[in-house]
Amino acid sequence: MKLSDILNSADKPLFSCEFFPPRTDKGEENLWSCLKELQAINPAYISVTYGAGGTTQDRTKGIVSRIKDKTGLSPVAHLTCVGASKTQLGELLAEYKAAGINNILALRGDAPEGMNSFEAVAGGFSYATDLIAFLREQGDFSIACATYPEGHPESKGGVADDIRYLKMKQDNGADCAITQYFFDNDTFFRFRDQCDAAGITLPIIPGIMPVGNFEQIVRFSSMCGAVIPAWLHEKMTPIQHDLDAVKALGIELAAKQCRELLEADAPGLHIYTLNKSEATIAIHQQIKDLL
Ligand code: FAD
């Protein structure tokens, strides 16, 4: 189903999940068993990330096509501007169109390994705003974009820049935005108020990262600029080597965060699953009265 139709017809908040394309046969097997388990909770859509290199990029296409054909779930393919010219992106989009994939999460992407900063290739795009405008010209695509309630690490003007660019993403044709993960809901509520004041009307869907391995989340957060608040450090650090305890606390905290967001009218929740279904299903179970 097209994302715009999912958004327009929703009479309750959307619960969605993100996966990455596995690199091994075992990982692939795990992905399909997670998706099978998730069918029971019927996520509004499943998004699949897009890597920096050629082979992982091909995997995204293969996986979204199979999600569409084999599971009945609605896939959203992430797409970045990294390493591709406008012509190459146009060719990939034509393949998506032919395969009946019409939901794209349009991103700039990060600098590939070994490069200090993102550089557009000749004939490519420098920002997600440009990719969104291009996608809109292709017709037929429903477009999601990314946004950063705590500010994108490269945004020189802080969150104000991110709000300005989110408005441009909306004006260029994005149907909804999914946020970088955050742990303090007040940050999201402040960001949402500022977006409202800036004339941003598209649904801003909070991205939720259930903590399953605290050291891993600390590492991710240092790369993507997400803030780990002192209270989370205090709770997780003493138990960080007991993965079962971390997982249980991670689920409890994420469910509490999700409940508070839904009670404050968040239009949906997008769970960063890290290709695991257990936490996602447990969180859904605890908030299903609000979904
Ligand atoms: P942009 O919105 O283009 O922003 C990049 C920087 O440029 C920001 O600092 C912004 O302030 C600035 N900027 C934006 N627009 C303009 C403009 N028009 N003029 C001047 N400056 C501008 N990465 C992947 O590689 N694959 C994925 O699948 C993936 N999925 C993601 C999903 C979500 C929900 C999120 C939140 C992030 C995801 N990322 C993914 C990470 C993302 O690629 C990085 O955060 C990347 O650094 C920025 O991408 P963007 O689309 O937000 O970029």
pLDDT in tens, 232-271: 999 999 999 999 999 999 999 999 999 999 999 999 999 9
73 within some domain: yes
Q: DSSP alpha helices (H): ranges in 74-201?
A: 86-98, 128-138, 159-172, 185-197
**Tokens standing for residue 85:** 């010219």
pLDDT of residue 254: 98
At which residue do the structure tokens 């939720």 appear? Answer: 208
Write down the catalytic residue from 18, 37, 95, 150.
Answer: 18
55 within some domain: yes
- For the chain, the C-alpha Rg in angstroms (whole number) is 18
Total domains in the fold of the chain: 1
Question: Which residue ranges in the chain fall short of pLDDT 50?
Answer: none
Ligand 1 pocket, residue 154 CB under 6 Å: yes
Other beta carbons within 10 angstroms of residue 19's beta carbon come to 24
240 within some domain: yes
- Whole-angstrom distance, CA of residue 138 vs CA of residue 84: 16
134 within 8 A of 92, measured Cβ to Cβ: no
Ligand 1 centre and the CA of 243: distance in Å?
31
Cα–Cα separations (whole angstroms), residue 110 to 103, 114, 120, 258: 21, 11, 11, 28
79 within some domain: yes
pLDDT of residue 58: 84
173 within some domain: yes
291 within some domain: no
Cα–Cα separations (whole angstroms), residue 65 to 107, 248, 253, 266: 20, 33, 34, 29
pLDDT of residue 37: 96
- Whole-angstrom distance, CA of residue 30 vs CA of residue 33: 5
39 within some domain: yes
Q: Tell me, what DSSP letter sits at residue 71?
A: I
* 19-27, long-range: CB < 8 A, 24+ apart: 19/46, 19/47, 19/48, 19/49, 19/63, 19/273, 19/275, 20/48, 20/49, 20/51, 20/274, 20/275, 21/48, 21/49, 21/51, 21/56, 21/59, 21/60, 21/62, 21/63, 22/59, 22/275, 23/56, 27/275
The predicted-structure confidence for 59-101, as pLDDT tens digits, reads as follows 999 999 999 999 999 999 999 999 999 999 999 999 999 999 9
Domain residues for the domain of 86 are 3-286
Ligand 1 pocket, residue 165 CB under 6 Å: yes
214 within 8 A of 249, measured Cβ to Cβ: no
pLDDT of residue 56: 74
Using most ligand atoms within 8 A of CB, pick from 17, 57, 107, 171 the residue to mutate for ligand 1: 107
Q: Assign residue 168 the CATH number of its domain.
A: 3.20.20.220
Protein residue with its CA nearest to atom 42 in ligand 1: 109
Catalytic residue status for 18: yes
Q: Does pTM surpass 0.90?
A: yes
- Whole-angstrom distance, CA of residue 93 vs CA of residue 101: 9
186 within some domain: yes
